[in-house]
Amino acid sequence: MKKLFLLTIFIIFSIVTVNAQDVTQTSQGKWLIEANTGFSAGVGEVGFLQHTANTGFGLVSVDGTTIWSIGAEGGYFVMDDLAVKVGLGYTDYDGDSVFSYKLGAKYYIMGKIPVQVDVNGASITDFDENPLWLGLQGGYAIFLGENVSIEPGIRYSLSLNEDFTDEGIFEARIGFALHF
């Protein structure tokens, strides 16, 4: 409980102290590299494979089955505050390989509030159907300096392939980004 309290105080302090940060990190011509962690709020009829279109970091172990994933996203600011992004990831699901991809855009409202829309999916070995999602994401960017930000937020992924699953996924996320 003490750690949660200290983390909350740190986040509030960070938000208050970075309000004077200028928005050069999200200026046209800048690059963005980020990695995310996600905490999913649902399991569909295909089990944890429901959330295989993952371009972040993850580790889940349930009933002796371990799922781990690694990935990253990159983007280029085509105008101030608007980045076009791509992402790639790999997930190992109890020996099955899953390759994930993402294509989208991220806009920083007032240089601090990132909102993202993307299409993401995956290719799963030995599966007849693969997932395809429309992702909607929002959060708050806490800039720790000129080149680093932490971006806690929420995400909803809407299934575009009802043959794979018809359920959406709601997540809490923590993103870590490099801006250069």
> Nearest 5 degrees, angle CA 92-CA 136-CA 115?
115
Asked if the model's pLDDT at residue 5 lies above 60, the reply is no
Task: Write the CB contacts of 126 (distance below 8 Å, at least 6 apart in sequence).
Answer: 96
Distances (CA, A) of 19 to 62, 112, 115, 131, 139: 41, 9, 18, 39, 15
Q: Provide the whole-model pTM.
A: 0.78
User: So what's the pLDDT on residue 31?
Assistant: 96
Q: Is the pLDDT of residue 34 over 70?
A: yes
By DSSP bridging, strand 65-79 and strand 82-93 are antiparallel
Kindly tell me if the per-residue pLDDT of 167 is higher than 60. yes
Residue 42: its pLDDT value, please?
Answer: 47
Provide the pLDDT confidence category of residue 35 given band limits of 50, 70 and 90: very high
Mean pLDDT of the region 141-151:
93
> What would the mean pLDDT of 46-57 be, rounded to a whole number?
61
Nearest Cα to Cα of residue 173 among 94, 118, 92, 110: 118
Say what the pLDDT of residue 43 is: 44
> Average pLDDT for residues 80-98, to the nearest whole number?
90
